[in-house]
């Protein structure tokens, strides 16, 4: 999109701290000459522990970033998009929000909540020119995913993926571009998994 005359800038923002949101959006508006037409809600943290061992503080932190923070950032962006009469919001969830995974109780629950929020937002904003969709990455090679590799889970994880490899960050580009651009103009409330086939793998 940037190669087609669009602009993108980066600003510092902690979605888990609502007091930082206004300044971040002001920086975006100043840098772009207006508020963005596309929002990618991509912030996320994970706690990987058995359900019985996750502390109240850990669970609260995961939900503050993955769901509550995403809710508030999307709400702020959506208000501006509704005023403009157009926009696209992409909530980055996870395949962990679509089916359970051991040690991922708080993470999976927060991402499942984000998927439901996506559907509700899509329903409410469709008539206002704003599309809302979700992207569900599977095992993508990121710093967050490296935790499981370091624990020795790489081989067992790869065996559950029909393509027999972990995804790379650029494997998400096609789906992201589809949802962000007019190529996906008739899509809202959609949930796209980019997971090498993991969700359809046999038991």
Q: What are phi and psi of 133, to 5 degrees?
A: -135, 170
Calpha distance 179→190 (Å, rounded): 9
Catalytic site includes residue 107? yes
φ, ψ for residue 100, nearest 5 deg: -70, 150
Is residue 32 within 8 A of residue 9, CB to CB? The reply is: yes
Catalytic residue, candidates 25, 63, 71, 107: 107
Sequence length of the chain is 203
Report the distance separating Cα 68 and Cα 81, nearest Å: 20
- How far is the C-alpha of 23 from the C-alpha of 1, rounded, in Å? 25
User: Distance between CA 199 and CA 73 in Å, rounded?
Assistant: 29
Query: Which of these, 41, 94, 93, lies nearest to 72 by C-alpha position?
Result: 41
Element (H, E) at 153: none
Q: Which residues are catalytic?
A: 107
């Amino acid at each position: 999109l940037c190669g087609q005359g669009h602009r993108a800038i980066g600003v510092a923002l902690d979605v888990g701290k609502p007091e930082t949101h206004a300044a971040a959006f002001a920086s975006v508006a100043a840098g772009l000459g207006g508020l963005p037409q596309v929002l990618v809600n991509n912030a996320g943290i994970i706690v990987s522990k058995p359900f019985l061992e996750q502390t109240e503080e850990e669970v609260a932190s995961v939900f503050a970033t993955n769901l509550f923070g995403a809710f508030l950032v999307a709400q702020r962006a959506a208000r501006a998009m509704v005023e403009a009469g157009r926009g696209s919001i992409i909530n980055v969830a996870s395949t962990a929000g679509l089916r359970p995974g051991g040690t991922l109780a708080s993470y999976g629950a927060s991402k499942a909540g984000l998927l439901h929020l996506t559907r509700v937002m899509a329903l409410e904003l469709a008539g206002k020119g704003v599309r809302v969709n979700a992207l569900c990455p599977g095992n993508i090679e990121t710093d967050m995913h490296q935790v499981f590799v370091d624990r020795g889970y790489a081989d067992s994880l790869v065996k559950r993926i029909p393509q027999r490899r972990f995804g790379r960050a650029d494997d998400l580009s096609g789906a992201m571009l589809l949802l962000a651009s007019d190529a996906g103009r008739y899509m809202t409330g959609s949930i796209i998994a980019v997971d090498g086939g993991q969700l359809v793998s046999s038991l």
